[in-house]
Amino acid sequence: MKIFAWTKHLTPFDCKLVGVVAVLVCLSFSLLLYRSSGARVVVSSGDRVVFVAPLDKDQRVELEGPLGVTVLQIENGAARIISSPCAHKVCIRMGEARHSGDLLACVPNDLVVSIEGDSTGEDGEYDFIRR
């Protein structure tokens, strides 16, 4: 059986639908390239904020959680978790967060690191969740 034998069964509407979906997928990926750099790091544990700092100031912070100390490093406009007491170390492998809306999470240690704001001084566009 030929690889593209199924295409002979497509109607003109099917072809148009495939084309529209392909364009929408390409546009959604291109939107990822235009995200703004964040302005600050906000670390939450449960319902409370435990740490806030600007992204442009390099520092290393030890954050206390139920399992122990998680170390967050802010450097070159990005935040990353470099040490954590959790078993699988998924939070460390998440890499850097530098764009507004990026998240890092150490679920076993109950810590969520989010990047907020806009480095240009504007808060950016509204989304569905706004405090």
Provide the residue ranges of all domains of the chain, joining segments of one domain with +: 40-116
Residue 96, pLDDT above cutoff 90: yes
Q: What is the pLDDT of residues 14-62, one digit of tens each?
A: 889 989 999 999 888 777 776 677 789 999 998 899 999 999 899 999 9
3-state SS, one letter per residue, for 52-121: EEECCCCEEEEEECCCCEEEEEEECCEEEEEECCCCCCHHHHCCCECECCCEEEECCCCEEEEEECCCCC
Specify the length of the chain in residues: 131
**Predicted confidence band of residue 3 (pLDDT cuts 50, 70, 90):** confident
Looking at residue 19, its pLDDT comes to: 92
Looking at residue 119, its pLDDT comes to: 60
Beta bridge partners of 114: 42, 103
pTM higher than 0.75, yes or no? Answer: no
Cα separation, 44 vs 30, in Å, equals 30
Angle formed at CA 83 by CA 79 and CA 87, multiple of 5 degrees: 125
Looking at residue 122, its pLDDT comes to: 53
**101, two tokens:** 């809306």
Q: What is the pLDDT of residues 54-88, one digit of tens each?
A: 998 999 999 999 999 999 999 998 999 999 999 99
Looking at residue 117, its pLDDT comes to: 82
Q: Give the contacts of 81 (CB within 8 A, at least 6 positions apart).
A: 70, 71, 72, 73, 91, 92, 94, 104, 106, 113
Residue 124, pLDDT above cutoff 80: no
Task: Using a pLDDT cut of 90, give the percent of the chain over it.
Answer: 56
CATH of 40-116, one of 2.60.320.10, 1.20.1250.20, 2.60.120.1440, 2.120.10.10: 2.60.320.10
